[in-house]
Amino acid sequence: MKEEDVRALVMRRLEQADTALADAQFLLDGGRSPQSVINRAYYTMFYAVLALLQQTGTVPSKHAGAISLFDSEFVARGVFSHEMSRQLHRAFELRQTSDYKATESPSHEQARDAVGDAASFLKVVRDHLWQGHPGIG
């Protein structure tokens, strides 16, 4: 794939991440369902991971595969901290539970924390992408 095509895909994923984060914050500020907030916060992180993976040439079709590749390609190699991995795993599990398994809704505190984690996660990813490729981010 041409470098400009990769760049366009990275930019598209970052736009998706920005939109998901704005949606999460809007829902949180509006006192909406924590489940919806958590969903959008998770997708902020997921799209950021896809932006990173686009540069490796390996973009899996499943969420678990993307998370696993983030851990092996970026966390295990010291590019990103283990705390970022924990944030991503926590967001994934919370979304899975609240979307598919929960008998009760997650708390507003969990939703607020998820948005904070998503915002910091996206900032670190964007900073990393900016360093490696000026004009991205």
Give 57-62 contacts, CB < 8 A, sequence gap 24+: 57/1
User: Which CATH number characterizes residue 35's domain?
Assistant: 1.20.120.330
Classify residue 21: in a domain, yes or no.
Answer: yes
State the pLDDT at residue 132.
61
| pLDDT at site 50 | 97
Q: Is residue 137 part of a domain?
A: no
Give 79-83 contacts, CB < 8 A, sequence gap 24+: 79/128, 80/124, 80/125, 80/128
Instruction: Indicate the pTM of the whole model.
Output: 0.92
Q: Does 61 reside within a domain?
A: yes
Q: Which domain holds residue 114?
A: 3-132
Q: Are 98 and 39 in contact (CB under 8 A)?
A: yes
Q: What pLDDT score was predicted for residue 133? A: 59
pLDDT at 137: 54
Cα distance between the two ends of the chain: 20
Asked if residue 66 belongs to a domain, the reply is yes
Residue ranges of the chain with pLDDT lower than 70?
Answer: 102, 132-137
